[in-house]
Structure 1
Amino acid sequence: MRETPQFGKNYSSIINPLGFNRLAVKMFLTRGQSAWDKVEYSTLSHQRLNVMQPKNTEFQQWLVGMTDGDGSFSVLRQNDKWTLTFKISQNTYNLRALYYIKQQLGVGSVSVESNRDMGSFRIRDRKQLANIIFPIFDQYPLLTTKYFNYAKFKSAYAILEDKKLTKSQRNAQIETLLLTKPDESYISPAWNKITLPIADANKAGKVISKSWLIGFVEASPATFYVAEEVKGRVYSPLAEGSFHCAPSAKRSDYNAGGPKAPRDLVAKDANRIVHGFGITQKLDRVPGVRIGHPAPPVVLEGIRHILHISTKVVYKEKYNHYMIDTTNSRAIDNVSKYFFNTMKGMKGVEYRIWSRSFNKHKGDYSQLVKIQKLLRELRTVRADNTLWTSKS
């Protein structure tokens, strides 16, 4: 059972996004005034994230990036009836982004799963898909393997709309279509306009637009973080991507009964905290590398060049994914400037905290410990239960 938001309440006003121990952020938007001048924080508002309303082109590219990050095109058969669904899912922490999409498109619905952890924006109406969604994704193609899924999705639509086919013929053709899978080395044809591997940021920028990259980072678990450094090595909280701040400590600084993951080093024993940015991805390898040495995904290589990150994309065999993860000060400065005043959802709040602390408190251990805790706890926030009513 899904639940749908209860309209008639102000979503922005009823959420205390930092309800943990009343800890929150007081955002000062005045130039030169630090958001971290006070230890005692007040409520962080969802109402204004200080972002400009995009032009139609920018929104559409952003939407494609969001879809590449965490969207899907599904063809399902229920009660002998085929349903086409375009969906973008986000943690309820970031419902703002889903409502932004609904507002811009003027169609679709936002629902929340019964466990209240995940929300989804959906469009199922075939006319709306044909008139609104298809033109966007035809004009601005997906850059990941999801291009393959989108092509199947459109083919299924064409089959269902073909009045010359009988019901059994439609069923047979769609069932055959759904059996097709992309090769492991599949790359979106959007990359055909440049020669691979990617040589520089200029080449990458011919395929990856800024709006697409903003959407991709907002949808994926890209991480802006603050993390611990142990003997010159930073243990980041990276999962699928993020902005972060990280402390510096020794292996011996771990308590015997302390946390299992290096990312949870005891802050009081750390002697340095650094900022970092990371993002991971599966599939979309660049062909031409011998077996046993998987090539980096073309999308991550493109992002690395655009953000001027010198750290190479690495393959994590244990998790079967690729990762960019950097704490290089110059790279962090590049990332901070690139994403300034761009994001629509709660990732923008994370970025703002992370970026301002980098510019104002870089090297200030005591301040960065507070910010590290703030970023970690901020991501645990969920919408107030009273926001939802059951949908039968």
Structure 2
Amino acid sequence: MKKIFLKALPFATLCLAVAFTSCNQKSDKGAQTTEQTDSLKYTTTINGKSVKLYTLKNKQGASVSITNYGGRVVSLLVPDKNNKLTDVVLGYDSVGAYRKKGEPFFGALIGRYGNRIGKGKFTLDGKEYALQLNDGVNTLHGGTDGFFSKVWDAQQLDGQKLELSYVSNDGEAGYPGKLDVKVTYTLTDDNALQIDYLATTDKTTVVNLTNHAYFNLNGEGNNTILDHELTINANAYTPVDSTLIPTGKLQPVAGTAFDFNKAKTIGKSIEENDQQLKFGKGYDHNFVLTHHDGKTAIATVKSPVTGITMEVYTVEPGLQFYSGNFLTGADKDGKGGKSYPHRSAFCLETQHFPDAPNHANFASTVLKPGETYKTSTTYKFLK
């Protein structure tokens, strides 16, 4: 991890910071647009901190809306093959719905440690640390007190860039060190959502940050992603035990249901008689990327319905592909009152490997004082 130096950036105007619509847009007296109403549903105070909805929009008309509660991507509107704007991420209509117990991390920033840590324990510099258990006997996505539940300080730098920052105190959720985190969302004019992460610590710790957006390129609320065509450039994956903790092995994908080097539908092999698929109830596995320079797509997904294609770029060595196996449709609080049934979304979470602190053969997630954690991921949309 290399040191970098940051320049101070100017504070955004209030006009840019809050609304879906511009400050000089007029509306009929006593009336509100749907967008304004939605924005108001995200305007509240949580633990004494202000929560709002921030919207970025590019020259193509694409837009992304993000709440500083959990840094969550609430909506992502991109053009389909007919130039119709389509919302491709699952979520809720109000910030309150994201706070309910058992919600599946829709659109959230994940930390301090994305994915799972076995038994909620790891040893660092000879000291064992015990974390919050929130996934059976394991810790998932930072624990019950993870970054997904925090109110981030927000600064909209311009119409296409939002900067979020958070200070995680020493001992929070069991992790050592005071961690200063900054995440920047940028919506580019070529319809790409770029997420840049920075973090520093005052004590040796572990860090693995990611975003947990749930995608359906047919449009959120569509009942399946099994018809999506997927490519993942990976020659191996990390098999797991029955609690979804990696065994430590790197398993070749060749000849298995996990081989996505040539494009195939998500549903093609998902019901094969494979113990790994049974453990995950489908795909819920980390893929070992063959390249991760941030310049070459590591994964590509295409919808046969809308024609929307999503390319993923990252400098991370791993990609968690999750096929929405634990969505049930029982939750009726989706956007517009929708329910999100089984396998109606997928996640492609860029990351270091799950449980890496407990596997010496996995790339290290250790961050030391004087170092800067720096990583970047881009989701680019084509039609």
Q: Quickly name the TM-score band, shorter chain normalised.
A: under 0.3
User: Whose RCO is larger (CA < 8 A, sep 6+)?
Assistant: 1
TM-score (normalizing by structure 2): 0.24
**Which structure has the greater CA radius of gyration?**
1
TM-score using structure 1 length: 0.24
